[in-house]
Amino acid sequence: MSRVLQLGDRKYNLDKRTLVMGILNVTPDSFSDGGNYTRVEKAVEQAFKMAEDGADIIDIGGESVRPGFIPISAEDELNRVMPVIIALKKDHTFPLPISIDTYKAAVAEEALKMGVEMVNDVYGFKADQKLAKVVADYNVPICLMHNRSSTDYKNLIADIIEEINESIQLAHQAGIKDEQIIIDPGIGFGKDLQQNLDVMYYLREFNSLGYPLLLGTSRKSMIGKTLHLPLEKRVEGTAATVAYGISAGVSLVRVHDVLQMRRVADMTDAMVRR
């Protein structure tokens, strides 16, 4: 399996360094930073700040998928994300590739038309299977995250791997190449606290699938419940998960605190990537 990830005209050797994906939520209700970047100017400013802080990719999302979220229409989602994408892409001065965090084919297609280089689907093609064809048509990388509505598993890790394989099969059926697939075990989605901790413990098992692994733990409830800390005090807990994840074979980390996690990633890389 290829260990080179191509995003637009950029190539990243995943064996040499961990990629840091900066989170840019242009939503009023995201669990951590909802409402902070709903104005285009603030969102663009934050994107450039994350680039300066060491991000490799910016992941833009227009719909919160936190527990108990209320789905919005593709039109509403586009109204949130497209002005930011257009502002970042229009004059070619923004230095990083952009990922669109969406499970809707219509949203992804409009973003990809504007030059977005990647799609991040929190439902792994199971919410809108038309998305797989869009990704295949544009030949961009796709992150397939594990997600489900129930925490009732027969065998936690085996069940998650089986369900990720179902998403991979949907990708293959649409004609998506293996080198374009990234997988995410879905910390915080369809899992309770102990199950999230178990996924972290067995993180190396997901390398058996043969695809680059993305880890998204930033500021999540697993950290808050373990350390009994509010959102704004979870940076050290996030750092622990990032360092552990990289040592277990993770290739990309999706984070809010880019500056700190870039340093954590670089230090961990220096120890484990030989």
Of 104, 126, 220, 262, catalytic: 220
Active site residue 254: yes
Residue 19 near residue 3 (C-beta atoms within 8 A)? no
| Cα angle 252, 118, 44; round to 5 | 90
104 is catalytic: no
On whether the CB atoms of residues 129 and 172 are closer than 8 A, the answer is: no
Element (H, E) at 190: none
Largest CA distance in the chain: 51
Distance CA 114, CA 109 (A): 9
In this structure, which long-range contacts are made by residues 75-81, counting pairs with CB atoms below 8 Å and at least 24 apart in sequence?
A: 77/102, 77/104, 77/107, 78/106, 78/107, 78/110, 80/26, 80/27, 80/38, 81/26, 81/107, 81/111
3-state SS assignment for residue 230: coil
Burial of residue 61, with CB atoms counted within 10 A of its CB: 0-12 exposed, 13-18 middle, 19 or more buried: buried
Phi, psi (rounded to 5 degrees) for 58: -110, 125
Q: State the catalytic residue, choosing from 80, 219, 234, 254.
A: 254
What are the residue numbers of the active site?
A: 220, 254
